[in-house]
Structures are given as structure tokens and as C-alpha cells.
Amino acid sequence: MKNPIIAAVAFDGISPFHLSVPCLVFGADRTRLGLPRFDFRVCAMEEGPIDTDAGLSIVVPHGLSALDEADIVIIPSWKDLDAPLAAPFKEALQGAHRRGALIVGLCLGTFAIAGAGLLAGRKATTHWAYTDQLQALHPDIAIDADVLYVDDGDIITSAGVAAGLDCCLHIVRARYGAEAALRLARHVVL
């Protein structure tokens, strides 16, 4: 059986804290906890180094083609919330969704999913301080500002970055069982 492929989307100016959430849950070998070995890939529009908002540079080894095979695509945050998505990213995100990948927006990553047109007529959440802006930009989304995450089947969105950890643990629970999620939570949180 193939290892699940998880692609986390980074971008120039990303917060290392936001990116660390999917890295923490899916990026390390947790087979001893009863989880599969994830094929975890950090990707960006362009391969190579990108700058973070913390003054660090990171090398991103994969381009958007990583979304072509991903079982789960995670957008851990987003910038330029009211700007249209770059066409290559929008097409890659829409293609992954059509192919059946689970699309996950952590915190402001919800804006990218909405910008790709994937949240129209759906329920979603984002960081509480940005729910009004998301609603103004995308009035066709039913926004719930009072939850940690919204699981709408093939798309999951979370509130702020700390809620992103709860959201990722929810994905583990939904796919691999409550016991695996509990072991992982005890390992990374407690």
C-alpha cells in the first residue's frame, strides 16, 4: 500500500509557525505510533529558497506539481487575502480537488481555497479576526466563526493557527482512528 502523499503549500513571506503545524503532524515518521509513513512534501509556486516573515529562508524542494499526486493538500496560511490567486496555483488546487484530494485550509489558508472557488455554497471558518473580510469577499460561503474547524467532507478549514493543530489531529482521527490520533496528540502536545 502506498504511503499517503501530503502536500503543504508554502509561499514567500509565510510564517514558520503556520508551516510548522502540518510539518509537526505529518512530516515526521510516526509509524511507531501506529500511523502510516506519510510522504510529506512542502511545495511552492517555485522550487528553491523562499523567505519567511521571521527573517529565515527555507528551501522548498517541490513545485506545484506536488499537488498532482497529493492525497491531502494543506494551505497553512495565506497572504494578500483580497488578491486573486495566481493562475497556476488556482488550477493546481482545483485539479487536486477534482481528482479527489482532501483540501485543507488552516487559518488564513481558507482564503486561498475560497479564491479557487472551492467554498461556494459551503460552510467554512478562518481566524476569527478575518471572518468579516472573508464574508465580504465571498458572500456565498456560510462562515462559522465560533468553531475550531469545519469538516465539509472533501474540504476542511480551521480557525487560527493553534486550531490548525486540532484540525490536523482531526484528519488523523478521521482517517486512522481515534486511538492513533490520541497517541499522536500525546506525543506532540503533551
Residues 112, 77 contacting (CB under 8 angstroms): no
Please return the burial class of 22, using the count of CB atoms within 10 Å of its CB with bins 0-12, 13-18 and 19+: buried
DSSP state letter for 11:
-
pLDDT at 172: 94
**Residue 16 burial class via C-beta count within 10 angstroms: exposed 0-12, middle 13-18, buried 19 and up:** middle
Q: What would the grid cell of residue 187 be?
A: 506525543
* Class of the CATH domain delimited by 5-188: alpha beta
Strand partners, 72: 6, 102
Residue 39 CB burial class (10 angstroms; 0-12, 13-18, ≥19):
middle
The whole model's pTM is what?
Answer: 0.96
| The pLDDT of residue 1 | 63
Identify the pLDDT of residue 190. 56
At 85 the pLDDT is: 95
| Mean pLDDT for the stretch of residues 124-151 | 97
Instruction: Please report, for the chain, the start and end positions of each structural domain, with discontinuous segments joined by +.
Output: 5-188
Pairwise pLDDT comparison (4 vs 32), residue with the higher score: 4
Distance linking the first and last C-alpha atoms of the chain: 31
Instruction: Give CA–CA dist 53/16, Å, rounded.
Output: 8
The 10s digit of each residue's pLDDT in 34-90 is: 888 999 999 998 777 999 999 999 999 999 999 999 999 999 999 999 999 999 999
- The mean pLDDT of the chain is 94
Read off the pLDDT band of 144 (50, 70, 90).
very high
pLDDT tens profile 3-22: 899 999 999 999 999 999 99
Residue 184 grid coordinates: 499522536
Instruction: Please tell me the distance from the alpha carbon of residue 129 to that of residue 63, in angstroms, as a whole number.
Output: 31
